[in-house]
Chains A and B, each alone.
Chain A
Amino acid sequence: MTTNLPLLEVKDLIVHHRSRGRAIEAVDRVSFSVHRGETVGLIGESGSGKSTLARTILGLLSPVSGQICFDGVDVTRRRRSSWMSPPSTVRRRMQMVFQDPLNALNPRSTIGRIIEEPMLVHGIKPASERRRKVTDLLSKVGLPSKAQFLYPHQFSGGQRQRINIARALALRPELIVCDEPVSALDLSIQAQVLNLLADLQIEFHLSYLFISHDISVVRHLADRVIVMYLGRIVEEGPVDILWGSARHPYTQALLATVPGDARARKHAEPFLCADQNSPW
């Protein structure tokens, strides 16, 4: 399943946020990699730096130091403009699915236009080809082709997330960063979207960096897991660590919070005062 060269490799990444002249280490010397076809789950509570890490990988934030390699190419300090330039076109090969499916969609664009836009930006021609792809993508995510003539508000939350996924797939990316893709969805819809992500991964041989605070979701989908706490990786390993073999006390405490698993809770020591979990 994996070749020797990781698709994404992050080395000693440090990202700061500035607040009133003070620098806060949002991401502190983080290193990990994602291989082809692999799902890496990134767990952590709010303020742990997981979304900052995701945005930095996608080039939306600049790191203070460290290195991000995509398919062996250092993409850390390239300029905005060169993200788009061939032959690497890293931007095409890395896409993102956001948490809030409605805010991520332009309310004044039709669904067809929304899905077509990345192809327009990247100069995919002709128009007929783009339109054919839009219909194709809609069917891949389980939406009727007439959906392309409608607007985001005409869809339910689950359908909107399908639209976001279709747009992310439009450029045939290799890596999709999913930032809490199902946490805004109702339970019965969550299952539909998680199954869809699993199916698409097999069909397109995708790699996912899957960010979530929901351990049961990560446990279900991920091959490997990274646990972040206050900007650092405190534990990393195969998904099995989430089934009970975790070493780090923070991971153990997190596991004890999985609802419906009171059994695990009885065994864990409530050592955490989680309210302290703030980088500010």
Chain B
Amino acid sequence: MTAGISDSILEATDIRIGIGGALPLQIVRGVSFSLMPGKTLALVGESGSGKSLMALALLRLLPPPLSILHGTIRFGDIDVTRLGTAALRQLRGAGIAMVFQEPLSALNPVMSIGRQLAEAVRVHQRLSRNALRRRVLELLDLVRLPNAVRQIDNFPHRLSGGMRQRVLIAMALAGRPRVLIADEPTTALDATVQMEILDMLAELQREFGLAVLLISHDLGLVADYADGVAVMYAGSIIEAGTAAHVLSRPAHPYTRGLLGARPPLRPASMPDTGKRVRLVEIPGTVPEPGHAPFGCAFAPRCPHTIESCREAPPPQALIGDGHVASCIRVGEKA
């Protein structure tokens, strides 16, 4: 992950997010990663792991009272954590753009999609009426919205979920960003639509050399669409590396548990005896945000916990070729 720092377009270092003041509460506890142009990094975790907060922090959109307590976000030459309001407006959309999970609530219901897109373009570019319309149609073409000319005057409720998500992606691309954050972009969509949207995103990424931060809870999707993966648990990245390496040789017990909890992908794992394979359960539940136990946050649910797991936060152990895991027992297990 940290290799080739000079090529990275965005680099987050030791980000801590929470509530400051007299009773401080840390929800994201020291997260670092970097994004490369043309590559996708998947940030994977269950609800409450802090992955969405991390995305909002990159755009400085954290809802109060949450704020970035510590760390730097380097984008090009600038540190996003230090930007003022005007510079942030420039950054959002033109530097870093975001696609949200729920396409209907992210669109204005009383404005045609053409006008909404035009608005997004105008923030970054002064164009004549005609040029603006051409640019809007060009964006809708990019995301392959069928019948773009006819759809332009339609309102969001007239579009299907997949089409709405296309419009949102078009809006995100309006400012020609270099980094695209996609927070569960297809969770609300049907399986066949999900695949179309992700394939399209991958194509756009190649075309524009976009760096994509894909936030997801779905490891299968990560296997298909991400180059790198970082697994979050209770506000920390507990394992990271190339998607191929982490998913085929997971080292952290949590990542292993997550992979085992998925229904199997091959019929071979279901023997003909008629006996169903039991899914691997991770006992217990995710700790509440800001209330991770001391030491290794996963220790209370981990089958390999020993005394020293609870004594100090586990350091990152290098497993090979940029693959790291925060577990003190990584070396001993098979």
B319 at the interface (CB under 8 A from A): no
Residues of B within 8 A of A270 (CB): 196
A191 to B190, CA, bound (A): 21
> Roughly how many angstroms separate A66 CA and B199 CA in the complex, as a whole number?
42
**Among B163, B195, B262, B263, which residue has its beta carbon within 8 angstroms of that of A265?**
B195
In the complex, per-residue mask of A219-261: 1 if CB is within 8 Å of any chain B CB, else 0: 1110000000000000000001001100000000110111111
Given A187-B258, A188-B257, A260-B221: A213 and B190 interface contact (C-beta under 8 Å): yes
- Chain A residues, Cβ within 8 Å of B163: 275
Interface residues on B, range: 35 or more
For the complex, is A278 an interface residue (Cβ under 8 Å from B)?
yes
A217 within 8 A of B: yes
Considering only residues 214-264 of chain B, those with a C-beta below 8 Å from chain A are 217-221, 223-224, 257-258, 260-264
Q: Are B265 and A258 in contact (CB under 8 A)?
A: yes
B261 contacts A257, CB within 8 Å? no
Query: 1/0 per residue B292-308: CB within 8 Å of A?
Result: 00000000000000000
Partner of B262, one of A186, A216, A253, A275: A216
* Inter-chain residue pair count (beta carbon < 8 A): 114
Of all chain A residues, the one with the shortest Cβ separation from B278 is: A195
CB-CB under 8 A from A219, the residues of chain B are: 263
What's the Cα separation between A258 and B303 when bound, in Å? 30
Give the complex CA separation of A3 and B10 in angstroms. Answer: 63
Give residues of chain A (162-196) contacting chain B, Cβ–Cβ below 8 Å. 186-192, 194-195
A contact patch SS: helix
A260 with B265: CB separation less than 8 A: yes
How many residues belonging to A are interface residues under a CB distance threshold of 8 Å? 43
Provide the B29-53 mask, 1 if CB < 8 A to any CB of A, else 0: 0000000000000000011000000
B193 touches A192 (CB 8 A): no
CB of A158 closer than 8 Å to a CB of B:
yes
Contact assessment for B191 and A257 in the assembled complex, using a CB-CB cutoff below 8 Å: yes
Q: A258-B220, A259-B221, A277-B190 are in contact. Are A216 and B263 (CB under 8 A)?
A: yes
Could you show 21 A-B contacts with beta carbons less than 8 Å apart? A45-B191, A158-B285, A187-B217, A187-B219, A187-B258, A187-B262, A188-B258, A195-B281, A214-B191, A215-B191, A217-B263, A220-B277, A240-B267, A253-B192, A254-B191, A258-B265, A259-B221, A259-B223, A265-B195, A275-B146, A277-B190
Closest 8 CB pairs of A and B: A260-B220, A259-B220, A220-B263, A274-B192, A191-B261, A191-B279, A188-B282, A45-B190
Known A187-B217, A260-B221; further 15 A-B contacts with Cβ < 8 A: A46-B190, A156-B285, A158-B285, A187-B46, A187-B219, A187-B261, A188-B282, A189-B285, A198-B276, A220-B263, A220-B270, A253-B192, A261-B265, A265-B195, A277-B192
Query: Which B residues are closer than 8 A to A by beta carbons?
Result: 46-47, 146, 160-163, 190-196, 217-221, 223-224, 257-258, 260-265, 267, 270, 276-283, 285-286
Q: Which A residues fall within an 8 A CB radius of B?
A: 45-46, 156, 158-159, 186-192, 194-195, 198, 213-217, 219-221, 240, 243-244, 253-254, 256-262, 265, 270, 272-275, 277-278
